A and B are shown apart, each in its own frame.
Chain A
Amino acid sequence: MDYGVSDPAGGNPSPGQYRAIKILLAGGFGVGKTTLVGAVSEIRPLRTEEPLTEGSLRTDSTVGVEGKTTTTVAMDFGRISLRSDLVLYLFGTPGQQRFWFMWDELAIGALGAVVLADTRRLADSFPAIDYFERRQIPFIVALNCFDGARKYDREDVRLALDLEPGLPIVLCDARSKESAKQVLIALVEHVLVTASEEPLSGIA
């Protein structure tokens, strides 16, 4: 596949013009990351085969696999062509601490992050929230409203997650393209507002 050539807008942008923007999607296991990426973008397989670091050796049991020097991590990888020269890349990886070696790279230059949370297991989102707060990466929290899950008041969630007053918390249905799109829009709006000193009329 030749992306530059097959893009609907045509043209063949030079590497300098091609703008690739990263958005991160974090959250606990089974919270709907894959579903959300698949709802809003062309989802594709992407895996890493990372050499085990000392850090991961401490947390990953290697008993019985002493010959193991690498670890496989599957990522959710989605691509949204906004224009032929402007493409969003969504990366979803597990939020657990032992995957932070990947986050460190993913986070460099990223537009921001979405922490996808399940109100039944809010604690699963603590590590991701801590991570983004500490590295000052702009993020929002999206509550995936599963069928049958009790609807929480957003301010209760803010309290439970100890989030700052201005930090957006959005409700979403990760299966819906429109809903997933609104989550990304909320993130970009939040980044614009935080990047701006003066209030942005018509955007916030």
Chain B
Amino acid sequence: MPSNDERWLDAEAGPVVRPYALTQGRTRPAGESFDLVATVMATHVAIADPSALAPEHVSVLRLARAPTTVADIASDVDLPLGVVRIILADLRELGLVAIRTPVVMAERIDKHTLREVLNGLRGL
């Protein structure tokens, strides 16, 4: 049997369980799945009881005031992607954010967009 000490990885990896404590142990987001670069935007619906939201939910909601992506939010709040996805799905269930998979994700990226990307890169 491992001792309690051995249940922790090295300092770099950090504790292995803690991040999902923020999600009450859930590891799967509710509802329809969404991409890493899906666009997230707050709906600006008034929150009946702001104190009901956890601080992390509030932080994520704040970052979504202007259009951003799931990956951007995860990086900004410095939480693992899996945790941020669950928080976002919670906020979506509450009607506080809209999550949209970018148009280009649905199909192959069209040539017009590819040329725009090419020109943009050349201009960097």
Contact = CB atoms under 8 A, between A and B. Distances in A.
Interface of A: 1-5, 12-16, 18-22, 40, 44-51, 64-70, 72, 77, 79-80, 82-83, 86, 88-89, 91, 105-106, 108-109, 111, 177, 181, 184-185, 188-189, 191-192, 195-196, 203
B90 interface: no
B84 to A, nearest CB: 10
B37 A89 contact: yes
Contacts of B111: 192, 195-196
Nearest to A195: B111
Contact of A109 (B35, B100, B116, B117): B35
A188 B117 CA distance: 8
A89 B117 CA distance: 12
Given A80-B124, A82-B117, 13 more contacts: A14-B41, A15-B100, A16-B100, A16-B103, A46-B74, A47-B74, A50-B82, A64-B6, A70-B16, A79-B72, A89-B69, A89-B71, A109-B106
Given A15-B98, A65-B16, A196-B111, A48 B104 contact: no
A80 B67 CA distance: 16
B31 interface: no
12 contacts: A14-B67, A15-B39, A15-B40, A20-B69, A64-B2, A68-B16, A70-B17, A86-B113, A91-B36, A105-B36, A185-B122, A195-B111
Given A108-B35, A192-B111, A68 B105 contact: no
Contact of A47 (B7, B27, B80): B80
B61 to A, nearest CB: 13
A50 B78 CA distance: 15
Interface string B77-115: 010111100000000000000101111111011010111
A109 B114 CA distance: 13
Q: Is the interface of A mostly helix, strand, loop or mixed?
A: mixed
Given A19-B103, A70-B17, A79-B72, A111 B121 contact: no
Contacts of B17: 67, 69-70
Contacts of B101: 109
Contacts of B13: 72
Contacts of A22: 36-37
A61 to B, nearest CB: 12
A3 B68 contact: yes
Which among A49, A50, A70, A83 has the highest number of chain B CB atoms within 10 Å? A49
